[in-house]
Amino acid sequence: MRPARRELHETVRYYNAQVPQLGEEFRDEAWETVRRIKEFPLAWHPLGGAIRRCQMRYYLRTV
């Protein structure tokens, strides 16, 4: 499993342990963030080179 996907699964499990279904909501928001990145690839904060950072809407996480 790729590191990013593994981190997503671990985070989903963590949030589900805190509040039922919160992990699924987080997962859905993470995939929505990926969709926005694909739709607007140059819209996000540049970190250097071709790497950019996109803030998730409802969580203090970036993709």
- Whether 19 maps to a domain, the answer reads yes
Mean pLDDT for 2-18 is 95
- Whether 36 maps to a domain, the answer reads yes
Total count of domains within the chain? 1
- Whether 18 maps to a domain, the answer reads yes
- Whether 63 maps to a domain, the answer reads no
Binning pLDDT at 50, 70 and 90, where does residue 60 land? confident
* Separation of alpha carbons 45 and 53, rounded Å: 5
**Over the stretch 30-53, which tens digit does the pLDDT of each residue have?**
999 999 999 999 999 999 888 999
Residue 1 has pLDDT above 90, yes or no: no
Full domain range(s) for residue 15? 3-53
- Torsion, Cα 62 36 13 1, to 10 degrees, reads -90
Share of the chain above pLDDT 70, in %: 98
Share of the chain above pLDDT 90, in %: 81
